[in-house]
């Protein structure tokens, strides 16, 4: 069983059939692709901003002193 239809070389071959199948899949799932793409973009932006802000504020190391009795 193939994901795409077999076509003859006269009509463009397997590459045209595959790109047509991918295009149909994107048209059918367009809302989900936009939703997940936006969510991933939001996550990456949040991580990047947090990383940059964290680098600026953490200049001095933390020193832990032991309490001796």
Does a structural domain hold residue 36? yes
Q: Which residue has the tokens 């076509």?
A: 7
CB-based contacts of 20: which residues, under 8 Å, 6+ apart? 4
Does a structural domain hold residue 60? no
- Tally of structural domains, the chain: 1
The parent domain of residue 33 ranges over 13-54
The Cβ of residue 20 has, within 10 Å, a number of other Cβ atoms equal to 14
Does a structural domain hold residue 27? yes
Does a structural domain hold residue 37? yes
pTM, rounded to two decimals: 0.53
Asked if residue 20 has pLDDT above 60, the reply is yes
Region 49-54: mean pLDDT is 87
Distance CA 67, CA 69 (A): 7
Asked if residue 38 has pLDDT above 90, the reply is yes
**What's 9's DSSP letter?**
G
Does a structural domain hold residue 3? no
Distance CA 17, CA 5 (A): 6
Does a structural domain hold residue 29? yes
Asked if residue 10 has pLDDT above 60, the reply is no
């Amino acid at each position: 069983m193939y994901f795409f239809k077999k076509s003859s070389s006269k009509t463009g071959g397997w590459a045209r059939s595959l790109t047509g199948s991918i295009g149909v899949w994107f048209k059918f799932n367009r809302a989900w692709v936009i939703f997940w793409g936006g969510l991933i973009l939001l996550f990456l932006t949040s991580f990047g901003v947090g990383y940059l802000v964290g680098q600026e504020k953490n200049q001095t190391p933390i020193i832990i002193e032991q309490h001796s009795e």
